[in-house]
């Protein structure tokens, strides 16, 4: 974690931040525009009770906030078509799509998936790094201490220990899941929580609210 000092203090104060293979240094020095995009997104981000209870199918409201912010700055969901050629024999070797990609930087957000999704993300970063497609991988997920917030709200059953949170992620990274790919991990902490609505009020708001396009969501 030799280059985490590069992360702005206000982000360090509100997010749980970890790195692998000096990822902060690589991102800031080699990809300054993408660094600015990610830091701006992290600084602006807050989440509410309404967003916790909203659900959202394949992409939660919280995930869509990141997608919308980054899409407005040129990041795109990207599928890479890769193969291995030995003499005249070509074998398809597909990688999983990256939800947010721009200029050699990939960002995945895992708010409330099953924890094996981390294995998929890290393996994808490893393969794409080895193919010189990605130079830095970023995973945004929950800080593990958020389970205390969920318990107080009475919704912990939807956010169990087998879902995605930092205590499930970093042992996988330290175990070599991402190979040589530099990786930054940001944990969404309770310091980012806007506690202005009860669960009952939030559910009522979700029920009557019309869905907004991702680029119109407030961040």
Confidence of residue 11 (pLDDT cuts 50, 70, 90): very high
Q: According to the model, what pLDDT value does residue 30 have?
A: 98
| pLDDT, tens only, 28-84 | 999 999 999 999 999 999 998 888 877 655 678 889 899 999 999 999 999 887 666
What pLDDT does residue 219 have? 47
Question: Where does the pLDDT of residue 94 fall: very low under 50, low under 70, confident under 90, or very high at 90 and above?
Answer: low
Pairing of the two strands 183-188 and 136-142: parallel
Mean pLDDT of the region 130-135: 94
Which pTM does this prediction carry? 0.87
Q: Distance between CA 52 and CA 155 in Å, rounded?
A: 9
pLDDT of residue 210: 44
Cβ proximity of 130 and 104 under 8 Å: no
Pairing status of strand 15-20 against strand 183-188: antiparallel
User: Could you tell me what percentage of the chain is helix, strand and coil, using 3-state DSSP and rounding each to the nearest 5?
Assistant: 45, 20, 35
Q: What span, in angstroms and rounded, lies between the C-alpha atoms of 142 and 139?
A: 10
Name which residue leads in pLDDT, 165 or 83: 165
187 CB-near residues (< 8 Å, 6+ apart): 15, 16, 17, 18, 141, 142, 143, 144, 165, 166
Q: Give the tokens for residue 144.
A: 């593990």
52 or 140, which is more confident: 140
Per-residue exposure over 135-168, b if at least 16 CB sit within 10 Å of its own CB, e if not:
bbbbbbbbbbebbebbeebebeeebeeebbbbeb
Q: Residues 209, 140, 166, CA angle at the centre, nearest 5°?
A: 115
Residue 84: predicted pLDDT: 62
What the chain holds in terms of domains, given with CATH numbers, is 22-209 (3.40.91.20)
pLDDT mean across residues, the chain: 87
Q: Does residue 209 carry a pLDDT above 60? A: no
pLDDT of residue 55: 61
């Amino acid at each position: 974690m030799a280059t985490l000092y590069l992360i702005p203090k206000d982000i360090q104060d509100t997010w749980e931040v970890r790195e692998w293979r000096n990822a902060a240094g690589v991102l800031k020095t080699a990809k300054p525009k993408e660094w600015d995009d990610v830091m701006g997104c992290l600084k602006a981000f807050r989440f509410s009770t309404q967003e916790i209870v909203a659900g959202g199918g394949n992409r939660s409201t919280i995930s869509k906030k990141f997608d919308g912010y980054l899409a407005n700055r040129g990041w795109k969901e990207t599928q890479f078509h890769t193969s291995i050629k030995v003499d005249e024999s070509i074998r398809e070797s597909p990688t999983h799509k990256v939800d947010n990609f721009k200029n050699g930087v990939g960002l995945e957000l895992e708010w409330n998936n099953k924890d094996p999704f981390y294995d998929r993300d890290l393996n994808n970063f490893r393969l794409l790094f080895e193919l010189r497609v990605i130079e830095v991988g970023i995973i945004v997920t929950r800080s593990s201490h958020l389970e205390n917030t969920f318990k107080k709200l009475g919704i912990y059953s939807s956010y169990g220990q087998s879902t995605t949170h930092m205590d499930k992620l970093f042992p996988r990274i330290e175990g070599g899941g991402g190979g040589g790919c530099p990786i930054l991990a940001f944990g969404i902490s309770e310091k980012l929580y806007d506690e202005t609505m009860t669960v009952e009020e939030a559910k009522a708001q979700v029920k009557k609210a019309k869905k907004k396009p991702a680029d119109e969501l407030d961040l």
